[in-house]
Amino acid sequence: MRKGTPSRTAIKVARGIVWAGEQPDLASLLPVGAADSIRELLVAAGQLSPWQLSLYRSAGFQALGGLMESRVMPGHLLSGVLRKRWVDDAARRALADGVQQVLSVGAGLDTLCYRLAREDPSLVVELDHPATSGVKRAGLEALGLPKNMQLIGVDLARVGLVEALAGAPSWSSSRPSVIIAEGVLMYLDEAAVVAFLAAAREASGPGSHLLLTTVGRDERGVVGPGLGAVKLMLAMAGEPLRWGIARSDLEPFLSANGWSLADCPSSDELRSRYLTPTGQGARPLAHDQDFVQAIRK
């Protein structure tokens, strides 16, 4: 991310969800209300123009996008859609089980916290880079920022997670919490990831849930193997991948840092949970990221 400008990746991902929401098969997989609320946020924040929305809805653009999805990055958009759905489902289950507050780190222009805050009285806090957080705040204030939702603009490369939460005085480190870091840790080095896990544990009470996404690393140490085109685009946007972990190493890594692995669905499990019930079980799925739920020890 370039200094002083919102994350280009955050804007691209949000626009991708809006585009997915215009396609009935993908829309059926997204969390209820996700595409609509992201579209409303982008428009209110000046990040989606009427002509762009018309383009997304055109048959020609959808056909071109489908061709790119199948030839250049097969299954990548579908994987992103399922990532949104899995995080949404996991967060809601945790709230139903008694979690009392939600923290999203690096949420970009995603609207999960906004939707949760409108539906549930629990405290919801977002931490993100000031440039991205500022754009989001402007959009949400235009839509009506819920009173139980707090947006804090902070550069977590300079300020620690616990220190940043001082800007949310209602946050309690003793309460069971959901802490979300979707699409965040792969941009950090390993020392920063370890520090984040320690800080997340310090900032939350017993029984807290941690929802992460991670990319793989092969035996040569290559981060994100198989993500060639995606890695190139991220590097060109100034947001290169820095950290990855093999799926087999997740459980011991989390355990060593105070967390117990609770869920990390395989491609077959994701297909069984989400695709097969909607009649889309045969679709190619690029499961190039792991969706990780951990519980605080």
Give a yes or no: residue 101 inside a domain.
Answer: yes
- What range does the domain containing 79 cover? 8-296
Question: Facing residues of 124 across strands?
Answer: 102, 149
Q: Which residues contact 245 (CB under 8 A, 6 or more apart)?
A: 214, 216, 217, 253
pLDDT at 9: 87
Read off the pLDDT band of 72 (50, 70, 90): low
pLDDT at 92: 97
pLDDT at 224: 72
Give a yes or no: residue 70 inside a domain.
Answer: yes
Give a yes or no: residue 144 inside a domain.
Answer: yes
Q: Which residues contact 178 (CB under 8 A, 6 or more apart)?
A: 91, 94, 95, 99, 101, 102, 103, 208, 209, 211
Residue 273 predicted with pLDDT over 80: yes
pTM of the model: 0.93
Read off the pLDDT band of 63 (50, 70, 90): confident
Question: Facing residues of 149 across strands?
Answer: 124
CA distance linking residue 28 with residue 80, whole number of Å: 14
Give a yes or no: residue 225 inside a domain.
Answer: yes
How many structural domains does the chain have? 1
Give a yes or no: residue 142 inside a domain.
Answer: yes
Residue 296 exposure: Cα atoms within 13 Å on the Cβ side: 23
Q: Are residues 110 and 81 in contact, defined by beta-carbon separation less than 8 angstroms?
A: no
- CATH number of domain containing 231: 3.40.50.150
Give a yes or no: residue 3 inside a domain.
Answer: no
Give a yes or no: residue 2 inside a domain.
Answer: no
Residue 87 predicted with pLDDT over 90: yes
Mean pLDDT across 69-79 = 78
Read off the pLDDT band of 3 (50, 70, 90): low
- Within 10 Å of residue 54's Cβ, how many Cβ atoms? 10
pLDDT at 192: 94
pLDDT in tens, 100-118: 999 999 999 999 999 999 9
CA distance linking residue 46 with residue 215, whole number of Å: 31
- Exposed, middle or buried by CB within 10 Å (0-12, 13-18, 19+), for 147? exposed
pLDDT in tens, 284-295: 888 889 999 999
Give a yes or no: residue 1 inside a domain.
Answer: no
Residue 60 predicted with pLDDT over 90: no
**DSSP code for 190:** H
Q: Are residues 132 and 109 in contact, defined by beta-carbon separation less than 8 angstroms?
A: yes
